[in-house]
Structure 1
């Protein structure tokens, strides 16, 4: 079935091709910039019957905020926004660089076991990107393997962090709600990679991104998600529990385990808030002693991969 947006999208400098992603409020397409012939990614806001409802007008506001955030960032490991506009049919859209590669999630599934050199290289780049956005006063809030792309166009692997759709400046207190029993309807982000305070609808800080980074690092090290559940409720119970995230002994007993314990502390008051400090600590570690243990671990059951929501 043909995507209706590709038929209705009319602009003198962009052509839509196939859909490559979709979120709650927008769809992402592979496209071409006519003036240059460059392949791009075009994000289009979802709409109804050719006009915007009050709900959709709110999404336009969030969409504009996302673009505003992205224009404030210039970093080799963060996706670039190239343009924005409105089609002849009044469709709001934004143009991003197109990333030729695969997601970190797919990379883990494909490789089964990541080498320690891979892990250090990729997760250091993620941290470097976090240092950049945090220095700009921005919290990503939806860091997860599916939002991290890996390119291999040169001698080294290169990551790009995507999707700043729910990101915010630190001076904006959003997503504060009184009904704690209905947190899934109120929260933002992905439950399996969100911090406990984010899931409770409390104000977020840089600590939220560092918690997500820790979960992703642990997934890279073990080959399986740190938080697995058969339902959203199970995942929420694991995240909101006071029990610490399980770290395998071979990792916990290494200095790397000290970093993981710090960033994965369930109490945000006991979690570091400085991504630069974590970056420095991570890159000063000697991974030689843990290399064999990590790379010889048994790979995880791929059926578990679809249980993280």
Structure 2
């Protein structure tokens, strides 16, 4: 039996496999508040960790699945794997236990948002920037899993969670296996067919490259809004996976660039040996594309610099050798014949030139030695000495992965801590220790403080206070006092606060985030009483109360109590606020009806006719004699129009 669960966003519930834990407190700690979703293996609930006062997600198996050993093993495996992957783009698992029926459940990080599937369905197709941002987050989470030796095996939009605060995480590691585990697709139910790689369809071993294929299909879908392979049944789709190449997204989407086309093609190569081996490789390519798609990489710059230095050193050595060779050629060879003498002037000039060249050669050699020593000293200064200190970059506001990369690029190590912040959204960096701009030696451990959002503070009593009092109380408690969003006619004292709301219009409960904005609903008092007024006077009264009369839908009714043309009442919804439109109901006076002619009829018959017509017949004839006498006359007379319910006196004759 399927039914809708009221008060929970119209979630469809299966009574046989339904949400059975709502209202339960698991382990004396996790109060299950409401359901979030239901899948084939179990249901997910929003719950509150009473010990830490934070929202969590509880995933529990269906009753029938808990009886299957393989399902329980898969459920436990998901807990172990997810708990071992501590990464900003992987849904955290906090706890694992069994409920009151001894059925396993997981306590996970609560993500208040939507899945990538919902996002694609809403937007039809994503923009280039949205696609790249989500892809980097997914690949970062997959890279962490691959690096830890795990293959996800079920990468698809349903398993990518996008929180309202911008966090993007991959979850549902229920099908995950070790990257070196020789489990094949045939051993159990595997990935969803539209995202399944050719090697899994053939029953071969799942590897990290299998996840890359699924990611490539998902990347195509983000850019185009549709899956590349569609068919009337699963067999047609699997055939296309095995025999066709994924088309370029740019054929149907202007959001796809040539570079993104190439990444889709690269990730979905049917030959697993030619596909990227793991997520880190694709992630590096995508980040390089985003950063500087046409520039030289740092490694290439280093290699170019090395070649320049080598060429310079070679040229200096060659010049020095050439100078020495020239000097040698100018000196006498010693093979001249006896008695043969050189001209003194020419010999002196040659010797003088040779001496000068020798001096220049010595100076060049000295300069080279000095340069080498200077370089050596400089190396010590910059690598070991005071010059080795480097500035810690400012990463405030960056996502954790980006901050870690920037700090690592500056030569430092990182360690994560958590801290609250009313300004920095969760998952992004609040500050570093040492602080940004401080100088430290390479490989210094830099503490990066990751925001877990603002502090959660108790909300003071605001209902019933005047607006000014409520604003002062809210500010004193650490919140921002907003504006009046609605004035409602509820019968309370005008000007008092009757509700406190967050910016989305939700009722604020016992706790609220630090510096969160609180808006107010204020009482406008009681609805004005316009009964008995003329419509014109009633309209003026309503206008003074900041209400509008709906003249186009004015209503009228018969009334025995209110004179014709006067207002009987206001026709309104359950809740009326200032600025709303209400409808006047105006009296048509009492409803009149013609007295029927019953003269000459038996008294009993006449009484019945008058009662059925809505009148009250009066007669002095006892009930036992009413069939023996006939009606002589009526008062009022037959044919007279009188209000319904009027008394009709009956005369009689024998």
- Normalising by structure 1, we get a TM-score of 0.80
Residue matched to 2:81: 69
What does residue range 1-309 of structure 1 map to in structure 2 within 5 Å? 3=18, 5-6=20-21, 11=26, 12-48=28-64, 53=67, 56-153=68-165, 157-175=166-184, 177=186, 186-240=188-242, 242-249=243-250, 254-285=258-289
> Would the alpha carbon gap of residues 265 and 103 (structure 1) be closer, same or farther in structure 2, given more than 3 Å must change?
same
Segments of 5+ residues of structure 2 without an aligned counterpart are 4-14, 294-654
d(CA) in 1 for partners of 2:232, 2:169:
30
- Kindly state the Cα deviation for residue 255 of structure 1 after the two structures are TM-superposed: 2.8
Structure with the greater relative contact order (CA < 8 A, sep ≥ 6): 1 or 2?
1
Tell me how far 1:138 sits from its aligned partner. Answer: 0.8
Give CA deviations for 1:32-60 in whole Å, capped at 9, x if unaligned.
22223322111112224xx954xx12222
Cα displacement (A) at 1:27: 2.1
Q: Is the 8 Å Cα contact of residues 87 and 144 (structure 2) preserved in structure 1?
A: yes
Q: Which secondary structure does the structure 1 equivalent of 2:46 belong to?
A: strand
Shift of 1:73: 0.3
- 1:180-220 per-residue CA deviation (whole Å, 9 max, x = no partner) reads xxxxxx54011111211122322111101111111111111
For the Cα contact (< 8 Å) 2:131–2:219, is it kept in 1?
Answer: yes
Aligned residues of 2:23 and 2:32 also touching (Cα < 8 A): no
Q: Cα deviations across residues 139-166 of structure 1 (Å, max 9, x unaligned)?
A: 111111111111241xxx3211110010
Query: Partner of 1:65: helix, strand, or coil?
Result: helix
8 Å contact 1:187–1:199 — kept in the other structure? no
2:451 is aligned to none
Name which one, 1 or 2, has greater alpha-carbon Rg: 2
* Partner of residue 431, structure 2: none
- Bigger shift: 253-262 or 194-203? 253-262
Alpha-carbon displacement from aligned partner over 1:228-274 (angstroms, at most 9, x marks no partner):
2332222222223x211111456888133222212101121221203
TM-score where L is the length of structure 2: 0.39
CA contact (8 A) 2:113 2:163 kept: yes
C-alpha distance in 2 between matches for 1:29 and 1:271: 38
Which whole-Å CA distance do the structure 2 matches of 1:121 and 1:46 have between them?
35
Compared CA separation, residues 100 and 249, structure 1 to 2 (3 A): closer
CA distance in 1, matches of 2:195, 2:162: 19
SS of residue in 1 equivalent to 2:21: helix
Deviation at residue 131 of structure 1 after TM alignment? 1.2
Secondary structure in structure 2 of the residue aligned to 1:230: coil
Q: Could you say what the CA RMSD is over the residues aligned between the two structures, in angstroms?
A: 2.6
More helix by share: 1
Task: Report how many aligned residue pairs link the two structures.
Answer: 274
Q: 1:105 and 1:87 mapped to 2: Cα distance?
A: 30
Secondary structure at 1:43 match in 2: strand
Instruction: State the distance in 2 between where 1:44 and 1:187 align.
Output: 20
Residues 77 and 288 (structure 1), Cα distance of their counterparts in 2 relative to 1, 3 Å cut: same
Give the 3-state SS of the residue equivalent to 1:58 in structure 2: helix
CA contact 1:187–1:198 (8 Å) conserved in 2: no
Higher strand share: 2
* Structure 2 SS opposite 1:228: coil
Structure 1 unaligned blocks of 5 or more: 179-185, 290-309
CA distance in 2, matches of 1:108, 1:221: 9
